[in-house]
Structures are given as structure tokens and as C-alpha cells.
Structure 1
Amino acid sequence: MGQVAERVAEFQDLALVKAELAARIAAIDVRAPYTRATDLAPDIDAIRLIAHRNGMNPAVTVTHFIDSALSRGEHGALVHGWLMTLSDAIYSERQDVQACHVFAAACSVRLAG
């Protein structure tokens, strides 16, 4: 019974982390139309750190691409699309290397577009 309780606790902790990240993404999304791209970067870095600590590998991958997009000066509605991709990565059921490749491919298409 101890292992079951541990798994439930892990699931609940991860659900809380996902909720926190979703709230952070929503806050960035609200600010994005009125904020310079460079001013959003620290918030994306914070999401990357939290995702990395919690083994949310596709989200880490997407944050790297968002950094590249922000460095290119993307802002406003373009950032909204990136944040939706990040949200999808956070709620992805898969956290393996293949999932990272799938999200990286989607981000590459968006970045090249």
C-alpha cells in the first residue's frame, strides 16, 4: 500500500506543478501584447526551470524555442501561439525523447514560418 500512496502523492504533486505552470503561461499571455519580447524571457526561463525540475521534458524543449522566437523579436499574437504549444507540452502525457522530438519539430516549423 505504501507504493500506491507514493504514486498518488506524485500524481497530485505533478498536477499542482502543471496548474502553476498553466497560471504562469496565462499571465504571460495576458502581458504579451503590451510587453517587449525581452521582458518576457525571464518568465519563460522560470517555466523552463520548473519544468526541468519536474521531468517535463517536452515543455523544456518548447521553452528553448520560445527563447529563440523572443530573441528574434516575436511578440503579441505570435507569442500567444508559442504559449499554446508550451501549454500542450506541459499537459503532454508523454515525457520521453520521442515526445521532445515531436514538439521540437512543431516548433521548428513555427520558427521557420
Structure 2
Amino acid sequence: MIMGWVLLAIAIASEVVGTLAMRAAVSGSPWWYLLTAIGYTAAFILLPMALRTGMPVGLSYAVWASAGIVATAILAHFLFGERFTVITAAGIILITAGVAAIQSQH
């Protein structure tokens, strides 16, 4: 099961890199689109690999999606100066609480 969590963590990181590269491509070099494609491709290969280790799909997807949202929001604030408000922080807390609730069932 440890390998499943490792694969899931790499999938999350890949998806976040792909998303941030997509954002960078909007205002920069088109080469960022290549990194976007690589990041998303890696994420969509690694998530099923994590599932093959026996991780429940509901838990895996909840962690993947929520961690991606949280990491992207925080990193976009620092990398691109995007807003990070009290409402954003509250949303992150709610997302984290939701994933904790799902995880408690497994």
C-alpha cells in the first residue's frame, strides 16, 4: 500500500506541474504547453498504477483532486501573484476536512 501512496503523490505532483505550466503558457513561451502535456500524461498514467496497488478509487481520487487543488492554489499565489483570500483558505480547510471524512471510511 505504501507504493500506492508514493505513486499517488507523484501523480498529484505531475498534475500540479501540468496545471501550473498551462498557466505559464498563457503569458509566456509555447514550450510550457509541452510541459503541460507531459505533466497531465504522467498524472493519468500514475493514478491507475496507484489504483492497481489496491487503493480504493474514491479515496485515491479525493486525495488526488483535493491535493491538486490546494497545491495549485498556493503555488499560483506565489508564482503568478494570484489572489489568496480568507475565502480561499476556508475552501482549502473544507476540502481537507472532506478528504479526511472520506479517508476515515477506509
Return the TM-score normalized by structure 2. 0.42
Return the TM-score normalized by structure 1. 0.40
